[in-house]
Each structure stands twice: as structure tokens, then as C-alpha cells.
Copies of this chain bind each other. A is one copy, B any other.
Amino acid sequence: METSQRIKKMREPALLKYYPIVNEAQKKGRKVYFLNIGQPDIKTPEGFLNSVNGIDQKVLSYQAPEGITELREAACGYYERLGLNYDINDLFVTNGGSEALLFTFIGICNAGDEILTAEPLYSIYKEMAAATDVNLVGFKTYAEDGFALPDESLIEAAITPRTKAILMTNPGNPTGKVFTKKEIEVMVKLALKHNLYLISDEVYREFVYDKQGYLSPAQYQELSQNFILIDSISKRYSACGARIGFIISKNKELMGQLKKLCQMRLAVSTVDQIGAISLLNLDEHFFDGILKEYTQRRKIVYDALQNIPGVICKEPRGAFYFMAKLPIKDASHFIEWMINDFDYQGETVLLSPANDFYLNPEDGADEVRIAYVLNGEDMRKGMSILKYGLEAYRLAFPEVCK
């Protein structure tokens, strides 16, 4: 029995392939610090559980395809606090940010159409493009200059008659990049000039350091008909297990079309929607302590990386990831070796190989992504283990080290 070409084109996330060997290592009594995935350890705000624990609906019925009105209103209130004026008709609730992206790809692209985005990129964009017959086209950004946007002319050169959108992730996963005003204006300008959608995936919006203000194409009135905002409560409220996202646009024709995709899957979880209302109603100060915690973690990782010879990375300005070049030739081999053959006082770390974050899996061979989602002490230990691991790896495999 055949399966489709489009599903065959999809790939499993590279990070999953390590779980069997991680299990083996754990069975041998080795402790593994998981720096590979973006699952925060921060407590989910109490309002979610309080709401869920208090639900007393006798019949758990379908909610409206567009989402519960009270949740959509709470979301509008949240955006208002960011200075964005959205009406509930500009906004649908989705099964996580993932579904918001899926609906966007289906809604604006025919099979064979193109979406332009910066590399390294969030790996799931690739799988979603394959599943929907969209061609993702990448322009490269680099660790050496903190993943700055390349020259406008270079991006423009990648636009073809089949390009339907520019997709940006701000702050970036896996890069931690936060786009500057100048960089955002380049993308706004290109979208307007070439009549493209600009899709901004802002699920890490609150994770911006060094007192930067909120900067987004959402703030450019002239772009409103071209602009699609993708959002999710997963990272902001440490509520990944509640599948609540949003697809947002002031383009009424587009939203009228996207509504049909919401109707196609009937509804989003009633319980998750009820739980999410209280989260969206939290004021911005709920994040103060979390930001402080992540700022400390970032410093721990950055200081540690600075002390490892041959590592190339700028301090990221957002999200909770470092994308770093290590002085090795094959990060996958190094990551496996760390789990199978290395420990420091019985402990080791699991990192993400960066080739998952490029369209061509041969790119990023010397890069890893480090998620700083553990508490300060664990992050500090994890970084020491990485340092000792690299030293031992250099002795064991000098020929694949730089």
C-alpha cells in the first residue's frame, strides 16, 4: 500500500531519534539534562488549573468553530495592552500555534506556491510545508552576526511569481534573534512592494531581554491587509499541553476564508479554552519574575559558552534558545557520543542538532541548539558537562574537531 509523496517528504524531528539511546543511558544510571526541547519548567499560572478544576458542564458540547467569545475577547484585551487594536472578528482560536500555521499555509498557498523565510528556521515549518505541498524557500542568517537579516536585495532576489508570503519568527526559534526596527521595516516594505503576506510567528513575544520594547509588523497600519499574526499560549504561560493558539488578521476576506478551515475541524477543546481565558486576562506584570529567571539562565549559558574555546555565538536577545557553532564537524555524532559514551560524575546533556533547522539537512553540521529551560543550577551543571564533554571529545576524535 502506497503513502503519498507529500507525507514521504516529511521528516521526523532529528531530536526524537536520540530518545532510545537516552533511555539506555538512563537505565545505566546516567542522569541526562534535557537541553534539547522547548518545554519550559515554569509553573503554569494557577488560573488555568483553577478554571479547569471548577468546570461543571453536564454536557461537554461543541463550541463555536472560531472559538469561545469570552476567550477571543480576553485575547483582544491582551493585544490592547500591547498597543494593538484587534476586534474579536480579527481573531480565531486554533489548536495551538501549529494549527494557525497549517491554516495559513492552506489558506494562502496553492500546491507549488512558495513561502520565504530565514534560515535557520523552526523545523516544523518544513514538515508543515511538505504536508501542504508548499515550497519553503530560505535565505541564510549566521551565528557570527547574531542571525542578522541579510541585505534587502538578497531577500528580494529570492522572491518569484509563486512567492505568496514572507514568514518570520520573532523572537526566533532556534536563533533567539529579535528583529530590529530596521529589519522589520525591510520585511514590511518587501511585503507591500511585492504584494505578499507577511506572517509573523510571535509565540515567544514576551521572551525579550535587555528592556527592548515590543516591535512587530503588527504595528504598521499600512500592512494591515497583508499581515497575519500567529500566536500561542504555550510558551508565554508555560501551558504547552493546552492546545490553544490564535490566527489573527485584519484582512476580512482572508479571515472569511480561514473560517471555513475552523468549521472543517468543528471546534477547539472546550476545557482548554475555558482554562485559557484566565491566562489571557493576566496583566503584563505576571511575566516580570519569569523574565528575570530566564535572563539569569541566559547569562549562565552565555558566560559558559564564552569560556569554551572555539564556540561561536552572540548573546541572543529573545526566546530561550542559543544556536551555537561548536568546534566540531558533526554535531549529531557529538550529541550521540555525549549520551552513549560520556558522563561527568554520572551526568550528561542532550542537545538538539542544528541540521533540523535548515532546509538542506547538510547545513548546520557544526551547530547545536541549547534550550535554557532548566533552573539556574541545572543549567550551570549542564554547561560544565558540555565543556568537559567537548574536551574529552577532542581527545577521542581530534580528526573531527576544528
Contact = CB atoms under 8 A, between A and B. Distances in A.
Interface stretch (A126-134, A323-331, A382-390): A126-134
A107 interface: yes
The binding surface of chain A is classed by DSSP as loop
B272 A269 contact: yes
A253 to B, nearest CB: 7
B266 A98 contact: yes
A124 B262 CA distance: 11
Interface in A177-225: 195, 197, 225
Contacts of A99: 95, 265
Contacts of A268: 243
> 7 nearest interchain CB pairs?
A241-B270, A60-B241, A10-B260, A98-B265, A269-B269, A62-B240, A44-B60
11 contacts: A1-B195, A1-B251, A2-B164, A4-B113, A6-B106, A7-B260, A53-B53, A102-B265, A127-B260, A243-B269, A272-B272
A282 interface: no
A270 B106 CA distance: 26
Given A242-B269, A269-B271, 6 more contacts: A1-B226, A44-B60, A57-B241, A60-B241, A241-B270, A271-B272
Interface string A97-127: 0110010001111110100000000001001
- Per assembly, the copies of the chain total 2
Contacts of A113: 4
A4 B264 contact: no
A106 to B, nearest CB: 5
Nearest to A41: B59
